[in-house]
Chains A and B, each alone.
Chain A
């Protein structure tokens, strides 16, 4: 009997233990469910960003994709132009990724890792600006976001808008030193709409003014345009080392930091809005941003936003999509490695196995469907084809691919990049020693460049390139400009003078081959001597001088640029006379 009881107790115990273990297991399973990635609703769009640097006289176009949600965003650069030559930017832009979320700001690049990093929040302060002579660390872009957040104006800061009027509001967040918010807001309203907002500092100085323009729709007024004025502002700059010594009245003082002016002359930014349909509903969104110099005369940079779509995406998937979009895939990586291996080498030096690989890549990229590609992706593809043609010496194909490159730029309203990128590709072909093809590409380039740009833009481009010693392409470009029937006397003079300077410098180059140092000059001299002698160049230059001087004499009020050109012409004239004597 007692055995039976004890067996029953043992069974009961085992039962209870089993139930307990099962319960614990079930609970633990409930406590740690399989992780499901959280998806965020994001707005995705593409952008063509044009960047001018008037001081350095450069023009760069970047092609990027953005994913934006109220709490996070990501940007991936898929391409940058000009590609064949130098590009004025702190880092090769292709494959550059920037991601921002409430935890951190991240920068990533596929090949160049000097600016890669995860910057946890708070980001910190920018400190004195310490970069000189066009250098700049890309990683400092993180402070731009912080600066923008500091200037945010919350809807609660303004409160309910008065129907009509102009009034001031003290900004409640301005006391918080870490945020450095504007101290006061000046608000102008009409019909219950915000017409103007002026952000002021504690002394009443203007930090930013924003005017809003609306368009009347059936369902009320919609924002059409924002006109933003940014005045000059002081910025502290810091010197590396001890800094300059300034002596005033015998008193010497060394300055490690000084104050200079940011946004010199001010900035005028215009944002255009329109209603855009996204997945069955319409949103009023910005589609064009243009930043001018303060007087509104010169475009400094612009962004065209397009291809808007909405997506539900997890952060992991977002990262994968961004990297897949911007990073080089395995075929592009092979192409890059081959280019490094065979840079400027004769096609006969390419190993047979590599010729096969390059042929396979050529067929792959040529057959690739462009139907769903963005402008940046298409330009990336055609540039890879140009590189393959250079390596393999496929010249008829190079001419076809160059024409496609030109038409892609034209169809995306990038006429100015036809000048810069086209010239780079033509000169690059001459550097690969393909002089007949370079001549053929040059003709294509001249036709497109002159048809897609006004005369003043072409002359400005030519003026900058004579300074950069790109003489032969500019001589040919000026030939083309001088064929234009509607040139003013002033334009004729500038074109004639620039052509003369180019011809004279080239003849000097051919006369003194020992002095030729740079790769560009060597290629240029080889290309020119292939078709002209130094004497024939000099003869043409002499004729240009006579004509240019005649035109200059007829100018009522020569500009400073025209006077400078005249001085150069006089110097050339003297040099030629001296050489003749």
Chain B
């Protein structure tokens, strides 16, 4: 029983990995993800099917999001650097104030 369950998990993981690879290949601005594959071992349990489908959908959405938001990363890097210009002033204000605990004004 344990072996069977482990086999099913491996099967499921393998399918999920294949699914994610496909997503990575297909994704651009418009993203098409194949329908989630249902594990035959859990097909008899409707709750398990729904949950597995949902997990696959979530994983697919996460992967699609990673691809679609890649262009924001260099700008987020720039935001951190720009915001850092205020850090010396804000940190010094914290240090000078008796009423504020000095933490760090995270940029």
Within 52-96 of B, Cβ neighbours of A (below 8 Å) are at: 53, 57, 60-61, 64-66, 68-69, 71-96
Task: Tell yes or no: B97 within 8 A of A by CB.
Answer: yes
CB pair A55–B74 under 8 Å, yes or no, is yes
Task: Tell yes or no: A197 within 8 A of B by CB.
Answer: yes
**Residue from B57, B73, B87, B98 within 8 A of A303 (CB atoms):** B87
Docked Cα-Cα span, A286 to B95, in Å, equals 8
CB pair A53–B78 under 8 Å, yes or no, is yes
CB pair B72–A260 under 8 Å, yes or no, is yes
**Residue from B34, B68, B101 within 8 A of A246 (CB atoms):** B68
Nearest chain A CB to B36 CB, angstrom units = 6
CB pair B103–A210 under 8 Å, yes or no, is yes
CB pair B84–A291 under 8 Å, yes or no, is yes
Q: Point out the residues of chain B lying under 8 angstroms from A199, CB to CB.
A: 103
Nearest chain A CB to B59 CB, angstrom units = 10
CB pair B106–A303 under 8 Å, yes or no, is no
Nearest chain A CB to B90 CB, angstrom units = 5
**Residue from A55, A237, A267 within 8 A of B69 (CB atoms):** A237
CB pair A286–B92 under 8 Å, yes or no, is yes
Task: Tell yes or no: B16 within 8 A of A by CB.
Answer: no
Task: Tell yes or no: A214 within 8 A of B by CB.
Answer: no
Docked Cα-Cα span, A262 to B80, in Å, equals 9
CB pair B77–A54 under 8 Å, yes or no, is yes
**Residue from A100, A133, A141, A155 within 8 A of B71 (CB atoms):** A133
Docked Cα-Cα span, A314 to B83, in Å, equals 27
Docked Cα-Cα span, A141 to B79, in Å, equals 8
CB pair A300–B85 under 8 Å, yes or no, is no
The interface residues of chain B, by DSSP majority, are classed as helix
Task: Tell yes or no: A556 within 8 A of B by CB.
Answer: no
Task: Tell yes or no: B11 within 8 A of A by CB.
Answer: no
Docked Cα-Cα span, A55 to B36, in Å, equals 34
1/0 contact string of A12-45 vs chain B (CB within 8 Å): 0000000000000000000000000000000101
Nearest chain A CB to B85 CB, angstrom units = 6
CB pair A267–B92 under 8 Å, yes or no, is no
Query: Which of A156, A197, A291 has the most B CB atoms < 10 Å from its CB?
Result: A291
Nearest chain A CB to B88 CB, angstrom units = 5
| Given known A-B contacts A136-B79, A144-B86, A55 and B73 have beta carbons under 8 A apart | yes
Which residues of A are at the interface with B, using a C-beta cutoff of 8 A?
A: 43, 45, 47, 49, 51, 53-56, 60, 62, 64, 66, 68-70, 73-75, 77, 88-90, 98, 100, 129, 131-136, 138, 140-141, 144-145, 147-148, 151-158, 194, 197, 199, 208, 210, 223, 226, 228, 230, 235, 237, 244-250, 255, 258-260, 262-264, 267, 269, 271, 284-286, 289, 291, 300-301, 303, 305
Interface CB pairs A-B, < 8 A, 22: A55-B74, A62-B85, A66-B88, A70-B97, A75-B88, A75-B89, A77-B85, A90-B82, A133-B71, A133-B74, A140-B79, A147-B106, A148-B86, A152-B103, A155-B98, A197-B103, A208-B106, A246-B31, A248-B61, A258-B68, A260-B73, A269-B106
